[in-house]
Chain A
Amino acid sequence: MPRLNTFKVTIETGDRGTSGPVQFSFNNHTLPFANVQGGTKAGETFEGDFEVNSFPHSLTLVGPEQGEWQLNKITVDYNCENLPPYSVTFDALALDATNQVNIWQDPPLPSFEV
């Protein structure tokens, strides 16, 4: 597992938005994002990042305390120590007070053109 320096999320909200703050959980510590831009109402795009500088045993996006939040797409840009930056895009899903979504993905395996 690499050491995660910073990560940035870009969340496209679907038909059902949320008004609550967007929070993530890093190794079971729930925190708000830094450098927040955009919004989480229906059709809006939210951006936020965080300087972690630690090893991600778990990294999740926490569901809102009230209502359901429909997410069309989540893109996460990871910046890990001694690795080139990489991005992962996750498919549509819905979050609420009972759940959270894993947004940590190990770095991709090396690939080469043939």
Chain B
Amino acid sequence: MSFVKKLKNILSGSSLVDDETGSPENKATATEVQVMAVSKKATPASNDTPEEKTSQWEPEPPKERTVIQPKVIAGVSLPQDGDKILIKAQPSLNNDQCVFFVNRPLMKGYSWYFANFEAAAESPLAEALFSLDDLETILVMENTLTVTRKDKTVVDWKPLAEEVGAAVRRVVEEGSPLIADKILNDLPSEDSIREGIQKVIDTEVNPGVAGHGGSITLLSVKGNSVTIHMGGGCQGCSAADLTLKQGIHTSFRNAVPQVGAILDETDHSAGVNPYFS
């Protein structure tokens, strides 16, 4: 007897045993179906038609699994133990910034954002870089530098990148500390940063992005680097990068000036309801 036929028999109250093949095995199968009917009943109304009840017995779709976004631990790789200082430049897709990977540690365990030349005082690495024309901001993190330029109309990073590479190589070869002691000595605790960032998210950032159905979640604080997730209307939104760099960065740095890197771990390709698609 087919499953549907058995089901109709159950629902209509007729015998569970197939007259043609009423074997004990088939009886057991029918009983199992009845047990399923009890355990899976979806509060049927008393006036439901058999057709409506049958629709409740369609096979369940495969179980939804959570998709983990793993942390990438090896992107651009450079030999760490070579004598030669190696530097690779990687401009961003829209050319608004360029990341430099150096095979030497620049700031272990922490990151620092230099907003301007004044902020670079007593930090030889940042002073050397700000002496270059056209350099706007610098973010130092572990063995990377992320720089932006003043002239946003220039898309070719190669000439400036070569100047940055030469300056970094020169300062690193000198062997003196790269970051000012006053910066390293005054770094706040992770708890203090977490508290400050969470407060600005709750009071300023989330009320702002809520108008677009978005939300920002603080995922972690490591050293003075923070990682966030952009959800709702922000996830996959074509303006997410703008919101991050011009809105969130500014709010975070105004509220907690010692915050270093602000990392977005959102899988924007998985956004299901972006505000701007």
Contact = CB atoms under 8 A, between A and B. Distances in A.
Interface of A: 60, 62-63, 73-75, 87-91, 93, 95, 97-103, 105, 108-114
A91 B72 contact: yes
B87 interface: yes
The prevalent SS among residues of B at the interface is: mixed
B74 to A, nearest CB: 4
Interface string B73-108: 111100000000011111111000000110000000
A93 B74 contact: no
Contact of A110 (B73, B90, B166): B90
Interface residues of B, number: 30
B98 to A, nearest CB: 10
Contacts of B267: 102
A101 B70 contact: yes
B66 A88 contact: no
A88 B69 CA distance: 13
Contact of A100 (B68, B74, B100): B68
A111 B76 contact: yes
A108 B73 contact: no
Given A111-B90, A112-B88, A99 B68 contact: yes
Most buried by B among A63, A101, A112: A112
B32 interface: no
Interface stretch (B34-42, B156-164, B180-188): B156-164
B152 interface: no
Contacts of A101: 67-70
Given A88-B72, A91-B71, A114 B91 contact: no
Contacts of B158: 112
14 contacts: A60-B67, A89-B72, A89-B74, A91-B71, A91-B72, A91-B73, A93-B68, A98-B65, A100-B65, A102-B68, A103-B70, A109-B90, A109-B93, A111-B76
